Amino acid sequence: MQNIGIGTDLVEIRRFENVTDRAFSAFLTKNFTRNELDYCRSKEAPAPHLAARFAGKEAVIKALFGLNITHIFYPSIEILNDERGVPYVRINTDKTEKLCIKISLSHTSEMALAFCIIISES
């Protein structure tokens, strides 16, 4: 049987622009992976990419909650881009082997958005 979880989130990009703030630096280090931070910081303007990834993590968590999976949190959710630039999700835990996770990210000059669909085989 297939169960489907969906999640969406919207984040203001300006909230990811204050990268010198002490609380913000600690937050980034704790909740983003090294790969994610390297990717975002390689961009001329990291804020839209950080905001989109944060929205993505929230969207994944919401979709997982819809499937009654509550043990996965921000640091375990890694959102990267393949060689075509398509975002994909990697969950860094061994409890999600049977999940198919799809994510879409987008942003304007002010807002970043993410939408996630997770299919669970049970």
Partner 1 sequence: MASFDENTIKNIFCEVLGISATDVTDVLAYNSCVQWDSLKHLQMVAMLEETFKIEIEMDDIIAMENYARVKEILRKYLQ
Q: By the criterion CB under 8 A, which residues form the site for partner 1? A: 11, 15, 22-24, 26-27, 29-31, 54, 58, 71, 73-74
Q: Between 115 and 119, whose beta carbon lies closer to partner 1?
A: 115
Q: How far is the CB of 89 from partner 1 (least distance, A)?
A: 18
CA distance 41 to 36: 8
Q: Between 29 and 106, whose beta carbon lies closer to partner 1?
A: 29
End-to-end, the C-alpha distance of the chain in Å comes to: 6
Q: How far is the CB of 118 from partner 1 (least distance, A)?
A: 19
Encode 68-88: b = buried (16+ Cβ within 10 Å), e = exposed.
ebeebebebbbbeeeeeeebe
Q: Between 62 and 119, whose beta carbon lies closer to partner 1?
A: 62
Q: How far is the CB of 92 from partner 1 (least distance, A)?
A: 13
CB within 8 A of 118, min separation 6: which ones?
Answer: 4, 5, 6, 7, 60, 63, 64, 66, 67, 99, 100, 101, 102
Q: How far is the CB of 114 from partner 1 (least distance, A)?
A: 13
Q: Between 112 and 118, whose beta carbon lies closer to partner 1?
A: 112
